[in-house]
Amino acid sequence: MWLRRKNRRKPTPEAPRIRVPTIAWRRLALPALTVSAVLAGLALALAALNRPIDSIALTGRFQRVSPLDVERIVRASIHGAGLVTVDLAGICAAVKRLPWVDSVSAERSWPRGIALRIVEQVAVARWGDDGLINDRGELFASSANHIPQELPRLSGPDGTEGAVAARYLVMQARLAEAGLRLSALRLDARGAWEFDLGNGVTVRLGRKRVDERFDTFMAVGAKLVAQRATDIAYLDMRYTNGFAVGWRGGAPSDAHSSIGGAGRAYLAYGRNP
């Protein structure tokens, strides 16, 4: 007896159901509206504060810089911007390019103005024919239109401005303590140094042991110059135990010994050479 088996199909598994979370749109709507309201309020506030600039205030000691030139550059740099959107850094950079301007700072002055503070360069020496050195030893103008002739004149090969200016600042400070004034400092192409004093005396330091030779001048030579400046043409410090003096109109009778002909004497100190 044959028994028929019933074909039973396996039940098809149901696909997993994805539950979409319910979004509480009403709860989100209120914060979104609040943020939008805040942003809109800020935009309105900025628009109200971003008023046209109608006043420019300048402070500083204006001896070389023209306030009219500063104001002209500031107005040209505003480009129609309001008090909030104005580029203060760009204005400072534009004014900084004026000759004799050392530093610039700017700030907003509510409700419709900006204020600038200008600091001028302080020139302490000339460089060559038409350059100027500031009190930090920097060459801030290489072709200045106005050169104060009373400033000492520094010179040297291209690229030596910093080294010459640094030596000048040190030397001038020490000379001033001795009642002397440096009127010129020169560095030649061979690396030799010499300087002129305000009384017309030239001091030669040469290329080697420059600091040591200057110390010797300050210890011994400066006293001689202070006493006999009108009689001295130059002091040559390029000797081991002394220095040579070039006298105006011939060597005086009290010179220790004469070398190199009339008008020149060698003065020894310490051990004899």
In the block, tokens 């302490």 appear at 124
Q: What is the CATH number of domain 123-268?
A: 3.40.50.11690
DSSP secondary structure, the chain, as one string: ---PPP-PPPPPPPPPPPPPPPP-HHHHHHHHHHHHHHHHHHHHHHHHH-PBP-EEEEES--SSS-HHHHHHHHHHHHTT-BTTT--HHHHHHHHHTSTTEEEEEEEEETTTEEEEEEEE--EEEEETTTEEEETTS-EEESS-S---TTS-EEE-STT-HHHHHHHHHHHHHHHHHTT--EEEEEE-TTS-EEEEETTS-EEEEESSSHHHHHHHIIIIIHHHHHHHGGGEEEEE--SSSEEEEEETTS--TT-SEE-SSTTEEEEE-SS--
Domain ranges of the chain: 55-120, 123-268
Separation of first and last alpha carbons in the chain: 147
55-120 falls under which CATH superfamily? membrane protein fhac (3.10.20.310)
Q: Find, among 159, 225, 231, the residue nearest to 195 by Cα.
A: 225
Q: How far apart are CA 269 and CA 242, in angstroms?
A: 5
pLDDT of residue 269: 65
Confirm if 119 and 60 have CB atoms less than 8 A apart. yes
Q: How far apart are CA 189 and CA 181, in angstroms?
A: 25
Burial of 126 (0-12, 13-18, 19+ CB in 10 A): buried
If you count them, how many residues does the chain have? 273
The number of C-alpha atoms within 13 Å of 92 and in the hemisphere containing its C-beta is: 16
pLDDT of residue 57: 97
Q: How far apart are CA 157 and CA 176, in angstroms?
A: 26
Amino acid sitting at position 265: A
pLDDT of residue 1: 44
The token duo for 105 is: 């700072």
Q: Find, among 111, 110, 112, 114, the residue nearest to 92 by Cα.
A: 114
pLDDT of residue 162: 94
Q: How far apart are CA 164 and CA 171, in angstroms?
A: 10
pLDDT tens by residue, the chain, 273 residues? 444 555 556 565 665 666 656 655 556 555 655 556 555 545 544 655 668 998 999 999 999 999 999 999 999 999 888 899 999 999 999 999 999 999 999 999 988 899 999 999 999 999 999 999 999 999 999 888 888 889 999 999 999 999 999 999 999 999 999 999 999 999 999 999 999 999 999 999 999 999 999 999 999 999 999 999 999 999 999 998 899 999 997 655 444 444 444 467 777 665 433
